[in-house]
Amino acid sequence: MKNFQLYKFKRNHNQFKWMTLVTILILNGFGCGEQNSPKGAEQSETEAAYNKYENGKKDGLWREYENNNRLISEGYFKNGKANGLMKWYHEKGHLAGEGLMKDGLRDGIWKVYGIEDGKLVAEVIFKDDKEIGIKSSYHTNGQLKQENTWKEYQLIAKKCWDENGTEIECIED
């Protein structure tokens, strides 16, 4: 029993570390700013099928792959800036996160998904790259965990629930 609890802790801790990293990268708009053509950069055949430059800047659908041809991200660019739906993928291949971009800035709903099961972990609404409205996070069973309400870029309210859906006092992170 002790070994199972240790395994469960390690698995949950590793999932938490991974989700924290993915959340930080996605919520910071990783890879979505202005993107210019790197000098002398080589593209694989798979990448060249999608990834195009116009006047030295990313344009159209872009897909980025790891060395083993595993898709890690995809999205649309115009004049070197992310515009439209952007997606990132976990090592296992399922969706890690997705969100809308406008002129290189987060704009609209952004969602983060779990590494193990691909379930929704969090969603945030952005306007001009700033959080607005309600930011929600979820327990692993899909039950709402926390809602933070933003107004004029300030946190104005916070609500929390346990895994059974009972409202509880929020614990500071």
| pLDDT tens-place string over residues 72-96 | 999 999 999 999 999 999 988 899 9
Q: Judge whether residue 168 has pLDDT over 60.
A: yes
- How far is it, in rounded angstroms, from Cα 105 to Cα 129? 5
Buried-exposed string 98-125: b where 16+ CB fall within 10 A, e elsewhere = bbbbbebbbbeebbbbbbeeeeebbbbb
| pLDDT tens-place string over residues 91-138 | 888 999 999 999 999 999 999 999 888 999 999 999 999 989 999 999
Query: Structure pTM?
Result: 0.71
Backbone angles phi, psi at 115, to 5 degrees: -70, -35
Q: Judge whether residue 5 has pLDDT over 50.
A: no
- How far is it, in rounded angstroms, from Cα 170 to Cα 146? 8
- How far is it, in rounded angstroms, from Cα 33 to Cα 15? 27
